[in-house]
Amino acid sequence: MSNRTGVTEFLLLGFSDVRELQILHFVVFLVIYLAALVGNLLIVTAAALDRHLHTPMYFFLMNLSILDLGSISVTVPKSMVNSLMNTRLISYPGCVAQVFLFFIFTATDFALLTVMAYDRYVAICQPLHYERVMNRTACIQMAAGAWISGLVYSALHTGNTFRLPFCQSNVINQFFCEIPQLLKLTCSDMYLSEVGFIAFSVFIGANCFVFIIVSYVHIFKAVLRIPSEQGRRKAFSTCLPHLTVVSLLLFTGCFEYLNPTSTSASNLDLLMGVLYAVVPPVMNPIIYSMRNKEIKAALQKLIVWRIFTKI
């Protein structure tokens, strides 16, 4: 791979060249990162320790929180260190690792969100068959399939991108290594194969999104037939957060990957990068726990238990 490129390191786009603003960026990203860590770790811990949450929905939610921890840990710490050290450098192997890991977590994330839509569909539209369809073995197989598909998808994307020679520049107009920005640095027409692969990936993602939407159309029809207002409220409270997370991830990601990239740095590129790489891992714990009484109860029990064990 190194023989095919004259680039040994890349320069990431900083949020500012002013030292005071660099420190501010470090502090803001540190707060965001700690909030994501605490929120997702609490969900993982609650889902793992509370036996009332040992259900398919919370099993998938625990996997989603692990993915969020991984995705934000791939991008944000490096950006924080660069701002603190007043540098923009990232090594070539570091960039490869960042692209590979970020794609594993985000691709698996979206595959898992699709599985979670199916789980909600079976739970609400076919409740009598739920325990048979969503048994422990099936849940493990679905989660493993999501992780494996994310791994394969990431390996294909990363390998297809970094086999290209980079000779235009080594400046990446984003705060982390991102494939659309990397493709601008290539000096070969072979980049069109990666563009085609991105288009194919968007097509697959759109199909998953259509599957999710169709699932929720059936879900909402079933919910509206529930005679109890409390039952309808409970069903909506478990479905609407999931749909919010899917929409945020899909639309910001598609905008960034389908938006024609210019050769100059753009504040919009930075904003979109933050929206799909940083915001979802922070928002997911809030969205899923804010109106979820079971998660709230589990977290309260966990906090009370920790307090009493220290007394």
Task: Give residue 141's pLDDT.
Answer: 94
Amino acid 190: pLDDT: 63
pLDDT in 10s for each residue of the chain, 311 residues: 444 456 788 988 877 788 888 899 899 999 999 999 998 998 888 888 878 778 888 899 899 999 999 999 999 999 999 988 888 899 999 999 999 999 999 889 889 989 988 998 898 888 888 888 899 999 999 999 999 999 998 998 898 888 888 876 788 888 899 888 888 888 766 666 666 777 777 778 778 888 888 888 888 888 777 777 766 676 666 667 767 777 777 777 776 666 655 544 567 778 878 888 888 888 888 877 665 677 777 777 766 665 556 55
**Nearest-CA neighbor of 19 among 87, 86, 77, 80?**
86
CB 175, CB 75: distance < 8 Å:
yes
Q: Give the residue from 122, 18, 55 showing the smallest Cα distance to 292.
A: 55
Bridge partners (DSSP) of residue 10 are: 90
Residue 152, helix vs strand vs coil: helix
User: Which CATH number does the domain 2-310 belong to among 3.40.50.720, 1.10.760.10, 1.20.1070.10, 1.10.10.10?
Assistant: 1.20.1070.10
pLDDT on residue 63: 94
CA atoms of 12 and 14, how far apart (whole Å): 6
Domain boundaries, the chain: 2-310
Residue 264 has which token pair?
A: 């100059």
Tell me what pLDDT residue 193 has.
66
Provide the H-helix boundaries in 130-266: 130-133, 136-162, 179-183, 191-224, 229-258
**pLDDT at position 72:** 94
| Token reading at 94 | 């570091």
